[in-house]
Amino acid sequence: MEHGVITSLCHALDYIADEASGHVIFQDRSDADAIALWVASSYLLDHWLLFPKLLINSPERECGKSTALQVVEAFARNGRIASSITPSAVYRFIQSCTPTLLIDEADRSLRGNEELNGIINAGHTRRTATKMLSVKGEDGEWKPAELSLWCPQVIAGIGEFEDTLMSRSIVIGLRRKLAREHVSRMHIRYFEDHEFMRKFLIDWSESATPSTTALDLPPEAGNRMQDNWEPLFRVAAMAGDTWVMRALRAFDVIEVQRKPYKVASSGSELLADIREILKDEVAPEVASNVLLDKLLYHHDSDWMTANTGRPITGKWLAKTLRLYGVRPQRRAACNVYFLADLEEAFKRYLPFL
């Protein structure tokens, strides 16, 4: 494709995906496709009631995290990178220019920062993307004010992130480059050199109207996944059948094939291990102490240290399962759990695991 000449949305998505995969080693080519679709979706922010974050997740340093962030910045709607940002700066910055906010080194800035995490998480849906605060008026009186948190957000960092952020994100996987692998050097003028693409996407977005017809998303898609991926699939549909297929493959790679490796909440991980432990059980109930012992010695599990560094106990198990509607029943010799109650929890909370 000739540099600077974009003739259609399909060509634009091809170009962005090629640029991303040319500068960064992803876990799969579909990561670059997901980035391209997300970038184009950012220009249609006014059409979405919910917009997912783009989480660029690096397992270690020197995996191209910052480079991937610069690629996204070069193409996204009004992109602005911040290596460090305070909670108050986030909502004031969003209020001032509705940027695509790109936060680097997020593993540092978000860790332990409940206020900043809350602000980032609140920006997932248009309705909840609001900050309420008091401001001092010209008359010296304090008055309530409402500030918007609604903008596209890209989070880049190393290692694991909170479940709340993961569930609101399209998670892009990176890999460290091997000596035999080649990536293009990013020129210092990379952002400036791609003004033509941003201009094309602005012009395209001014007349683009995504379909509102029901989407036929993959059966593996739970409600949260469907919500997150809907903007990407609607943009893919506007680009044609080839990009619909690429979107479907990206969904399969990122949300289905990688799902077993995603960080699970302690509750859902517990349910998954119990389901594995009891898969051949035929009795209608299981003793609490028996289930506890099986969990503690279950292969590859962390239940020996999950209770603030100590082994889980029967009391810990009962308290955690109670959140999922599963309660122990008293027997003369011991407490038991009904398998029917556990099966109900599996159906509700582990539908695709």
Q: How many C-beta neighbours within 10 Å does residue 316 have? A: 17
| Banded pLDDT at 261 (limits 50, 70, 90) | very low
Q: Which single residue is written with the structure tokens 């400036």?
A: 192
The two three-digit tokens of residue 201, written as one number: 């996407």
Work out the end-to-end distance of the chain between its first and last CA atoms, rounded to an integer number of angstroms.
41
pLDDT in tens, 136-150: 888 888 888 888 889
pLDDT in tens, 315-349: 999 999 998 889 999 988 899 999 999 999 888 88
Does the pLDDT value for residue 43 go beyond 50? yes
C-alpha of 332 from chain center? 47
Q: How far is the C-alpha of 101 from the C-alpha of 29, rounded, in Å?
A: 24
Secondary structure (DSSP) of 274-319: HHHHTTT--SSEEEHHHHHHHHHT-TT--TTTTBTTB---HHHHHH
CB 228 within 8 A of CB 217: no
Note the pTM of the prediction, 2 decimals.
0.76
Q: Which amino acid is at 12?
A: A
Judge whether residue 220 has pLDDT over 80: no
In the block, residue with structure tokens 């974009």: 6
Return the pLDDT at 56.
Answer: 94
69 Cβ partners below 8 Å, 6+ apart?
56, 81, 102, 104, 154, 156
Task: Say whether 200 sits in a helix, a strand or coil.
Answer: helix
Q: What number is the average pLDDT over the span 261-282? A: 78
The CA angle 258-264-270, to the nearest 5 degrees, is 125
Structure tokens at 141: 């009186």
Paired strand residues for 120: none
The one-letter code for the residue type at 127 is R
Q: How confident is the model at residue 213 (pLDDT cuts 50, 70, 90)?
A: confident
Query: What is the tally of helices (H) and strands (E) in the chain?
Result: 15, 10
CA separation, residue 46 to residues 42, 125, 147, 152, 317 (Å): 9, 12, 17, 11, 45
Identify whether the C-beta of residue 28 lies closer than 8 Å to the C-beta of residue 247: no
